[in-house]
Chain A
């Protein structure tokens, strides 16, 4: 049946409206386009070989990013920034059943055969120092700080990058490769002590490793743990201890390119359980 006038008007309006709409969308897309941030253009030095990735002199050192602190913005220049505050204590753990040997000189275990107070339940009973010499420090924080090593972690500095010969890799690429090298070595040790629990995979532990150019661990610092909730709270502290232990046990690390020590001399990573 042929269209009557009213139907023709309707069709025309619809078609016209669609065309208008499409036009406006195109316009809108055009306006929004420049909101997508592009990487800054950089100068590229071509020396025989063509680098196929941008070689912007990225921030050589990243802040290990404790979000709460008023962190300096990531520097754009390879300015030597001593990222590791050597004397900064590792974040104090919440009250845990760690044996703090400092208290209580009495060596006697409970004299009463009757029930002990429940408050002491979770903790080991601290006892006086043993007579035999111990190779490691008494408190866990001491052990973590590697008091046996004696050397100070090297401040990072931009050793002369070999920009004269080969195009230098970007910091992000180096960090990714370093993480791929370190990851399995650390994972192997973590899996020997990592506690299981509900929502254990929600906890992310952020650590910063200080490494010498030979891949030996100078210091490991726990920067923060996120994702702690009611279900996994009991595992947070043992997990932290386990990770620190594992990092120490995995040293010296293999597969690190000394040429990029200025990038990975301080390596930040976050660790998380699967399943």
Chain B
């Protein structure tokens, strides 16, 4: 091999560059000086749970109501509050069982020393009164035991049959105060109740309170019902039904029990969703085998607007809380992935960038995260930021799918399918990945969707 000039020249040029580099040291940053002006660091753990005492609410003049005697209601309200706080995974409530009852005087003048001795950080006290009109007045107070200080108080007048809502409102106020989060206990869940063998499942539309109480079946199971969604004002439910033999989307009016089709089109329609203001409905429709996403006015009458037009399957769709963007799922790139677009269908771009497939994206009501199902062997529920970064998987099971959000964006609900048996159940998990728990339902359940906090 002959040495030629250009090679020599190249090496000399390299030498020149290397020679100059140290002399260009002005650009080189000096090594970081230990931050002498930064205050000393103290680290602490947030994992520990707060102990909070919940004695039965006092009924100063016990009286009977259609929902039972108010003294019993006082205890039941405390039980609901206690269960709510426990189920959030952030508190360790004591009582009402096993702790001493309180007097009415204590409700506004707690015996702090006694509760300090019980080693609790917070104390909830309250009362239940029956008014002349038969309505209940419920008052609840939150106290900081260590500081001997009131932190919150709340009062409600409710019909006796709505006593649970008073308990949920108290729970929400206490929870919000202590965690900083928005409330979510006073809300309802729509889902599909499942029974029957794997090859012949009976699927019924059903609704319940956020803690599983006040459960009610809406459809009778003669035809398969799927993927329900509460309207933001809780007046109606969007859902998919096969009652005429084909997948069709109906708006079911809860009060009247009547329902109507959202579109008269004979094409199959599925995956119905509400906009945050309840004015618009998103749905997916397959034309000649190709599925795209459409939106239509919830009031009916107007023509649908087609939002996607790609050759792949574009399905689902979830509005951002400000109503300006929609996150949806598409396999236009070859596999299921998460895409974001403007509410008018503009600017469609993919945001899921990890390995595997991504499905069922749902925008958090807080706007900060998008929940999804990640399929990579198993099906796992995860969250990512709206730009696709910061992916975190929250569950780890054979098949967890279809996450939806609690109205405060802190808890995620999904359903889990058991391998082989195909049995389904509704589960919740905290955004930190902790406190994964099964929601108690009368039979199997799937497709859970959470409505907003009731006003």
Q: Which of B61-69, B156-164, B197-205, B289-297 contacts A (4 or more CB under 8 A)?
A: B156-164
List chain B residues, Cβ under 8 A from A169.
Answer: none
Q: How far is the CA of A109 from the CA of B48 in the complex (A)?
A: 35
B138-170 with Cβ < 8 A to chain A: 139, 142, 144, 146-159, 162, 169
Q: Which of B14-22, B77-85, B301-309 contacts A (4 or more CB under 8 A)?
A: B14-22
Question: Does B245 reach chain A (CB closer than 8 Å)?
Answer: no
Tell me the minimal C-beta distance from A267 to chain B in angstroms.
8
- B50 lies within 8 A of A192 (CB): yes
Question: Does B263 reach chain A (CB closer than 8 Å)?
Answer: no
Nearest to B181 among chain A residues (CB) is: A234
Tell me the minimal C-beta distance from B204 to chain A in angstroms.
28
Tell me the minimal C-beta distance from B259 to chain A in angstroms.
24
A111-161 with Cβ < 8 A to chain B: 111-113, 115-118, 121-127, 130, 132, 134-136, 143
- A275 lies within 8 A of B46 (CB): yes
List chain B residues, Cβ under 8 A from A127.
Answer: 153, 155
Question: Does B45 reach chain A (CB closer than 8 Å)?
Answer: yes
Question: Does A97 reach chain B (CB closer than 8 Å)?
Answer: yes
- A270 lies within 8 A of B432 (CB): no
Nearest to A116 among chain B residues (CB) is: B455
Tell me the minimal C-beta distance from A168 to chain B in angstroms.
18
Tell me the minimal C-beta distance from B363 to chain A in angstroms.
13
Q: A97-B152, A115-B454 are in contact. Are A191 and B44 (CB under 8 A)?
A: yes
Q: A113-B135, A274-B44 are in contact. Are A230 and B368 (CB under 8 A)?
A: yes
Q: How far is the CA of A13 from the CA of B5 in the complex (A)?
A: 12
- A118 lies within 8 A of B455 (CB): yes
Please name 27 pairs of A and B residues whose Cβ atoms are closer than 8 Å in the assembled complex, sorted by A. Answer: A6-B2, A25-B18, A27-B22, A36-B31, A37-B30, A97-B173, A116-B169, A116-B455, A121-B455, A124-B151, A124-B154, A127-B153, A135-B148, A136-B149, A187-B42, A191-B48, A192-B50, A194-B46, A195-B46, A196-B179, A234-B180, A234-B181, A245-B147, A268-B40, A270-B39, A270-B40, A273-B44
Binding site for B on A (CB under 8 A): 6-7, 9-10, 13-14, 17, 20-21, 24-25, 27-29, 31-32, 35-37, 62-65, 74, 97, 99, 108-113, 115-118, 121-127, 130, 132, 134-136, 143, 172, 175-176, 178-179, 182-183, 186-187, 189-198, 200, 206, 230-231, 234-239, 245, 248-249, 268-275
